[in-house]
Structure 1
Amino acid sequence: MPTPLTELTGVRHPLVQTGMGWVAGPRLVSATARAGALGILASATMTLPQLRDAVREVKARTDAPFGVNLRADAEDADARAELLIEEGVRVASFALAPTRALIARLKDAGTVVVPSVGAVRHARKVEEWGADAVLVQGGEGGGHTGQVATGVLLPQVVDAVGIPVIGAGGFHDGRGLAAALVYGAAGAAMGTRFLLTRESTVPDAVKARYLAAEVTDVTVTTKVDGLPHRMLRSEMVEALESGGRTAALVRAVRHAAAFRRLSGLSWRAMLREGRAMRHGKDLTLSQTLLAANTPMLLKAAMVDGRTDAGVMAAGQVAGVIEDLPSVAEVVGSTVEEAARLLTALAARVRA
């Protein structure tokens, strides 16, 4: 199923496994790459040496193309970009818009640059700055999200830019991939679907929480870090939403201290990280601390299996996914179903 996405990145299928923190590690990414889709390694929760080790592990597992997701606002973004260039990583994806200079540096080295956006104006901006493609996430997507549904946002972005567009938010099967292609996208990206696979390293008890969830169990809250965040409703979310400012500050400091020990950052550096993640929003001190150590809240669930002490980012599709296939089965069935549906649609149109 060739599209501008497959031609640009060298993968066989127009599917992207998104760079989910603590989830999209070498095992999941290499399995995705071997299946012919574009796997994206999540780097925001890694130190620079850990990122290099992870990239090399993926390369040892497969020679298929893959990508790495970078935080454009990270203090060492330039060093991480240089690492990708040195290691020959095919795709650099970004959760926020990278600078024009960073895009140029990566492109000059032959790296494909794919920022993620949630608004038409942001898509136009990164295209003007030289991005090769853009991933647009609608409000159904997990993690930090917007208010506009994918079915409204995706065609708007397709009409607004001339570079390949990848749709994200609400996709989990071949019907979704077919719909994205009909909208004019070059492919579809999926997060929660790949999280719920056998190769995903998320603990079984956490996967069980996802599989048991109904659509109404997936909520959007601003109480984690002051920004809209889509996740499973859990004990931690309930505590954050019901607690007062004092309790929130105490909890934020406790989690921040744990993240500081894990990351090696100073308190001053952590506050800088938190301020950088505000995206122009005015946050309280506790929200700034939580913004800086949200990865720790994710780790508690996604790595340690503590659903009571962590948060579980989730797209709305968590409420309709009921199985744990292999990555190869997800990619194969999604592409086959999309091809079958598009062929049948074309036949009906001709008739």
Structure 2
Amino acid sequence: MAGLHTPLCDLFGVRYPIVQTGMGWVSGPRLTAATANAGGLGILASATMSHAELEVAIRRTRELTTEPFGVNLRADAPDVRDRIDLLIRERVRVASFALAPRADLIARLKDAGVVVVPSVGARRHAEKVASWGADAVMVQGGEGGGHTGPVPTTLLLPQVVDAVDIPVIAAGGFYDGRGLVAALAYGAAGVGMGTRFLLTSDSQVPDAVKQLYLRASVTDTVVTDALDGVPQRLLRTPFVDALVRTGRLRRGGRAVRSAAAFRRATGAAWRDLVREGLAMRRAHKLPLEQVLLAANTPMLLRAAMVDGRPDLGVLSTGQVSGLIDDLPSCAELIERIVTQAREVLAGLAGDATGTAPGGAAGGHPAGASTT
């Protein structure tokens, strides 16, 4: 159905306007390739990889799919220019950014034919990156997982759509075909989903950890700055509750230990970690204690997401985890979303003409079930 083919499909070279977002320790080659093969845009998360690991991951992803995919970068990483050069050499289709990249980085990628998609949480940020030449923008509302803001998607999305003239990807609270249709109705060109793709059989997150997500309700999350000084949404666990109650001095000690562990895991040099921390402090006007606390994030996420120890780490999540109750493959998930979206669109078209898809008067949108 033409209603599901948007400018985003042409921009990325994909069949459906569905994006699997880059999630540290989660979206590796297997999940990224599975999403791409199912017709969406899969995105590798590189922030938790060394440069050498990213190179291997890109090539492994290409072994698993011939479809376009993307790589998520940190604009403030010390070696961001080297990583951009790697994407260009490897002919990666899309570069996404968790933080707004500088104008010169956008220009470098665009000159090489790489599509640039920053993520934003405010209208003014979308306007800024659009003026710098970004090809599209992903806007995440407060329902989303990880670092997030206070404005819900239903209020933030129309603001951004009205403010920029590039394709907008809606993120935060999406998991099914009804959400895709709703995003399109707001003027978005597609949806981005993290938690929904995390909870697939193609995700490398341990099954026991996935079960914690599946048992969660929409109220079993918490937004806190206790982890790294910046508000982010986490699944509520005894460990997270204890972390929220912990004083900043004790968190600071944990941060130093986590930074040392992250350095060992990735091979990063201390000078690079210090340089990155100072860059974060300048770019985001963070006090020194928040820069120190930020060292917690990578290893606490790894403990839960990779090692399967939520008692020793944290689980990033969107509120939408409370609405998810199964673990389909990426192919099954995207087929389900597309089928339901088409049914909803057909039902709405029938309502508009006074007839249901089968010809009966007064029909209602089909496909309301999430199963």
Q: Same fold (TM over 0.5)?
A: yes
| Cα deviation, residue 301, structure 1 | 0.5
1-structure distance, mates of 2:139, 2:216: 25
Select 1:283's aligned residue among 283, 287, 293. 287
User: Aligned pair 1:33/2:32, yes or no?
Assistant: no
CA 1:108 to 1:263, structure 2 compared with 1: closer, same or farther past 3 Å?
same
Alpha-carbon distance between aligned partners in 1 of 2:223 and 2:47, rounded to the nearest angstrom: 22
**Structure 1 CA distance, aligned partners of 2:158 and 2:186?**
6
Aligned mate of 2:268, from 262, 265, 269: 265
Identify the residue that residue 241 of structure 1 maps to in structure 2. Answer: 244
| Preserved contact between residue 32 and residue 42 of structure 2 (Cα < 8 Å) | yes
Alignment check: 8 A CA contact 1:270 1:289 kept: no
- Residue 110 of structure 1 corresponds to 113
Whole-angstrom CA distance in 2 between matches of 1:188 and 1:293: 29
Q: Distance in 1 between matches of 2:275 and 2:214?
A: 37
Per-residue CA shift, 1:131-157, capped at 9, x if unaligned? 111100000000000111000011111
CA contact (8 A) 1:301 1:310 kept: yes
Looking at structure 1, the residues matched to 287 and 299 of structure 2 have their Cα atoms a distance apart, in angstroms, of 19
- The correspondence for 1:89, drawn from 88, 92, 105, is 92
2:169 counterpart of 1:166: yes
Secondary structure of the 2:169 match is strand
Instruction: Choose which of 314, 318, 338 in structure 1 pairs with 2:317.
Output: 314
Q: Are 2:347 and 1:347 equivalent residues in the alignment?
A: no
Tell me, in whole angstroms, the C-alpha distance in 2 between the residues paired with 1:48 and 1:268: 16
Aligned match of 1:297: 300
SS state at 2:219 partner: helix
Q: Structure 1 residues 245, 102: CA separation in 2 closer, same or farther (over 3 Å shift)?
A: closer
**1:43 is matched with which residue?**
46
The aligned runs of 1:1-351 (5 Å cut-off) are 1-278=4-281, 280-285=284-289, 287-351=290-354
Give unpaired runs (5+ residues) of structure 2: 355-371
Q: Secondary structure of the equivalent of 2:244?
A: helix
Partner SS, residue 83 of structure 2: helix
Moved more, 241-250 or 145-154: 241-250
Q: For structure 1, which segment, 241-250 or 60-69, has the greater mean C-alpha deviation from structure 2 after superposition?
A: 241-250
Give the residue type in structure 2 aligned to 1:28: L
1:267-319 superposed Cα distances (whole Å, 9 cap, x missing partner): 4432332343455243353x322313411111010100010111110000011
Whole-Å separation in 1 of the counterparts to 2:271 and 2:107: 31
Looking at structure 1, the residues matched to 287 and 85 of structure 2 have their Cα atoms a distance apart, in angstroms, of 32
Q: Which amino acid in 2 is paired with 1:256?
A: A
Q: Conserved in 1, the CA contact under 8 Å of 2:7 and 2:189? A: yes
**Contact residue 145 and residue 229 of structure 1 kept, 8 A:** yes
SS of the residue 1:162 aligns to? coil
Counterpart CA distance in 2 for 1:269 and 1:39 is: 29
Q: 1:277, 1:292 within 8 Å by CA — same for their partners in 2?
A: no
In 2: Cα distance, 1:266 partner to 1:49 partner: 14
Contact 1:138/1:169 (<8 A) preserved: yes
Gaps of 5+ in 1: none
In structure 1, C-alpha distance between the alignment counterparts of 2:278 and 2:305, rounded to whole Å = 25
In the alignment, the residues of structure 2 paired with residue 138 and residue 47 of structure 1 have an alpha-carbon distance, to the nearest angstrom, of 29
Q: What residue identity is the alignment partner of 1:258?
A: A
Equivalent position amino acid for 2:345 in 1: L
Are the equivalent residues in 1 in contact too, given 2:256–2:295 (CA < 8 A)? no
Instruction: Summarize the Cα distance change of 1:26–1:59 in structure 2 as closer, same or farther, 3 Å threshold.
Output: same
Whether the 8 Å CA contact 1:218–1:230 is kept in 2: the answer is yes
Matches of 1:96 and 1:283, distance apart in 2: 18
Give yes or no for contact 1:271–1:292 (8 Å, CA) kept in 2.
Answer: no
Within 2, Cα distance between the matches of 1:250 and 1:190?
34
Query: Partner letter of residue 38 of structure 2?
Result: A
Q: In structure 2, the residue corresponding to 1:216 is in which secondary structure?
A: coil
Alpha-carbon distance between aligned partners in 1 of 2:225 and 2:49, rounded to the nearest angstrom: 25
Q: CA offsets per residue over residues 31-77 of structure 1, 9 Å max, x none?
A: 00000000010000011111011000111111001100000111111
Instruction: Tell me the amino acid that sits aligned with residue 44 of structure 2.
Output: L
Query: Helix, strand or coil: the match of 1:74?
Result: coil
Provide the identity percentage.
65
More moved, 251-260 vs 267-276: 267-276
